[in-house]
Structure 1
Amino acid sequence: MSVISTSASKIMVSIIIPIYNSELFLVRCLSSVAGQTYKDLEVLCVDNGSTDGSRKICAEFGEKNSRFKYFYLPINSVSAARNFGIEQATGEYISFLDSDDSIDSFFIEHMIDVVKENSSDIAVCDINYIDSVTGDLSVSRIRFDDVIRRLNVCRTFCWGKVYRKSLFDNMRFPNLNYFEDVAVIPAVVAYAKTVSYVKKPLVNYYRNRKNSLSENYDGNCLIEALQTLKQNLIKLGVFETYIDEFKKMFISQMRFLCRRFNNFIVEKSEFEKIKEYLLTIDTNLEKLWACKFYASGDNALISGTDKAVVFVEQIVSDIETADFIICYSDCTQTFEKPVIKIPKNDSSDDFVGLTYDIAENIIEYFIEKKEGTYCG
């Protein structure tokens, strides 16, 4: 049995939960918060315009536990809810949680333990991805020691982390329907002096939820979010330090967007706008989606490569038509084409992490020009 750290218990933590018509999942979410082993916390339930039974559920939790505080905002905006929560929070550290997700009972305890140990501004943990339909579970792990230098690997979403509240003194979420996290979180991570990593999956993210905001996207918000991120990085004085990471993030988000919309359902004009803006950052990046890739490895590597590139048509089954070969770093086979080597996945359940590794290594050939020949 884990013993709660007495030194860690001196830090007050505020958990901010935006709520909008979440009655189907809210009990699960709030129960996971109520069951935290760490007790020095407050829970800010910010209802941004719910019309279902969410308010009643929050009231029931508030009656049983005085740490739960309910606020109602007549504005259907997750950004407004988060910003309000930041302003109301009394904790030295804050954490965000979506109302249809849940956290492990040791989430806050483990995160604050590493915060205390390393005097960290931010702590980040691994994630359980759970399919709401099938119940299938996969774990997304961070396998890089230098987390702070890997803005995209540290993840752009706000949940799954604990932050020193002062990081948000001059930072707020923009009023966007989608990608509002992208505009803020990487800048906050870049500005932090120390980021610690808890190598445990302590947050449960539920996929394939009907009517979930995170399951619906509007690509028109992507450029605005990334432009805002750039301005935030400039404002904090760290843009030049992280310019290559910014490029990687832009490509990653574009790849995610195109894949999310079933590969090609993104409007052509919309994609061209994204592409045009990207090329103002680095003209060499146009070659990134002109190349063909062939994956030489097990089924996981092949499937991961398919999801790591921008367009599905960039994957070829004939090695002769490929511009680059994707293989594991321990591969001893000789190829006549340039090779991009991927670290061997150290966890069989971490397909998400493998896909990130593949995308990261591909992008580095075009941004950092580490090695290899470039097609064009």
Structure 2
Amino acid sequence: MTHSNSKLASTEQPLVSIIIPVYNTETYLRACLDSVVNQSYKNLEIILINDGSTDSSKQICDEYERNDARITVFHIENSGPSVARNLGLDTAKGEYFAFIDSDDYYHNRFIEILMSGFIDDSIDVSFCHYTQGEFDASHIHWKTMNFEYFYLNFENYLTKVVPWNKVYRREVWDNIRFIPNTLHEDMYIYFKLLYHRKLAFTENKLYYYRRDRDGNRTSDNKSEENLLSKLEALTLEKEFFLEKNEDGYVKKVDQNILYYRINLFNNYNNPLAKKALKQHVLDILVADFLNWKEKLFLLLKVYKLKN
């Protein structure tokens, strides 16, 4: 479905709350905040949560708060992005919510365009692609989808699970918060957040995702700890869909769980992954993400474990 992107008059614009956790991003923070305060969509509440930064991020947040009445800054002890985002969610006054990481930045029409995705009252979430190169804000076309299509057929996993390339109706977040002290905190909640929701998606790239801030962004880290965290999130996801009697979704989660178990087994000889693969040899045979040579090699490794 195609929808016009004509900007609403400022008096008609619903309030959008933008939640920004900040931790030691002094090099990139001004670019991020400039992209937010200079949005074409003006009716914004901008919530900065300085999560115990030890660089000049605190002073930069305070400077922007002095210069823009739409900005509110909270300074907290370092507690992680989940706690920071939850504080933003608990204090936000907007009818719609959005997020941005403090080392990334928006296209200057990000909010305007994503708000235009709320074509009617049935749309709960509007989202777009991200980029690590050039923005693309021309020829906006909206595709609407239910959760089943989104979960089973939408292929770009990062675009699907992250919170920062989306605008949400406020009620989507009712009774849902990020889980503190978890890596990949978005993986732990996105499925329950969007379950039975209707979404609008544009292929346009409107969010700049800075993958290599320190050479090691959490979502790209392949350490054993990170893989175990992803596996834990998928286990909770499976439990959620089992409770809902959603067998089709459970099957897809099982494939993802197998993928991470194989990663843990091949790269770290992880004992939990070893045990699970021994118990689920048939899952390897039907895995659609392995070719026959990969299956044979893995089965031989598992067979050796049994002897």
Q: Normalising by the residue count of structure 1, what TM-score does the alignment of the two structures yield? A: 0.64
Q: Deviations over 1:100-144 (max 9, x none)?
A: 11111111111111214454111111221x2xxxxx6699xx998
Q: 2:274 aligns with which of 272, 275, 293?
A: 272
AA at the equivalent of 1:81: A
1:209 alignment counterpart: 213
Shift of 1:186: 1.8
Shift of 1:231: 4.8
> What is the CA–CA distance in structure 2 between the aligned matches of 1:244 and 1:7, rounded to whole Å?
44
Aligned residues: 279
Q: Return closer, same or farther for 1:41/1:169 CA change in 2, 3 Å cut-off.
A: same
Contact 2:135/2:206, CA 8 A, preserved across alignment? no
Contact 1:16/1:43, CA 8 A, preserved across alignment? yes
Contact 1:93/1:164, CA 8 A, preserved across alignment? yes
Shift of 1:21: 0.9
> What is the CA–CA distance in structure 2 between the aligned matches of 1:83 and 1:273, rounded to whole Å?
36
> What is the CA–CA distance in structure 2 between the aligned matches of 1:253 and 1:15, rounded to whole Å?
33
AA at the equivalent of 2:271: S
Q: Deviations over 1:140-163 (max 9, x none)?
A: xx9986452222636111110111
Aligned-residue identity in percent = 27
Instruction: Say if 2:273 is the partner of 1:314.
Output: no
Q: Return closer, same or farther for 1:104/1:221 CA change in 2, 3 Å cut-off.
A: same
Shift of 1:314: 2.5
1:286 alignment counterpart: 284
2:187 alignment counterpart: 182
2:161 alignment counterpart: 156
> What is the CA–CA distance in structure 2 between the aligned matches of 1:38 and 1:291, rounded to whole Å?
42
> What is the CA–CA distance in structure 1 between the aligned matches of 2:84 and 2:64, rounded to whole Å?
19
1:101 alignment counterpart: 104
Contact 1:13/1:42, CA 8 A, preserved across alignment? yes
Higher helix share: 2
Structure scoring higher RCO (CA < 8 A, sep ≥ 6) equals: 2
Q: 2:201 aligns with which of 187, 197, 201?
A: 197
Over aligned residue pairs, what C-alpha RMSD do you find?
3.5
> What is the CA–CA distance in structure 1 between the aligned matches of 2:91 and 2:245, rounded to whole Å?
33
SS in 2 for 1:173: coil
Q: Return closer, same or farther for 1:273/1:100 CA change in 2, 3 Å cut-off.
A: farther
Shift of 1:174: 1.1
1:170 alignment counterpart: 175
Contact 1:178/1:221, CA 8 A, preserved across alignment? yes
AA at the equivalent of 1:209: R
2:91 alignment counterpart: 88
2:300 alignment counterpart: none
AA at the equivalent of 2:78: I
Q: Return closer, same or farther for 1:155/1:8 CA change in 2, 3 Å cut-off.
A: farther
Structural mapping, 1:29-48, within 5 Å:
29-48=32-51
> What is the CA–CA distance in structure 2 between the aligned matches of 1:89 and 1:182, rounded to whole Å?
22
Q: Return closer, same or farther for 1:45/1:254 CA change in 2, 3 Å cut-off.
A: farther
Q: Return closer, same or farther for 1:38/1:219 CA change in 2, 3 Å cut-off.
A: same
Contact 1:32/1:104, CA 8 A, preserved across alignment? yes
SS in 2 for 1:115: coil
1:245 alignment counterpart: 249
User: What 5-or-longer segments of structure 1 have no aligned partner?
Assistant: 131-135, 295-312, 322-376
Shift of 1:224: 2.4
SS in 2 for 1:155: helix
> What is the CA–CA distance in structure 2 between the aligned matches of 1:201 and 1:188, rounded to whole Å?
23
Shift of 1:203: 0.8
> What is the CA–CA distance in structure 1 between the aligned matches of 2:36 and 2:134, rounded to whole Å?
21
> What is the CA–CA distance in structure 1 between the aligned matches of 2:29 and 2:283, rounded to whole Å?
43
Shift of 1:232: 4.8
Contact 2:241/2:249, CA 8 A, preserved across alignment? no
Structural mapping, 1:354-373, within 5 Å:
none
SS in 2 for 1:265: helix
> What is the CA–CA distance in structure 2 between the aligned matches of 1:256 and 1:248, rounded to whole Å?
13
AA at the equivalent of 2:151: L
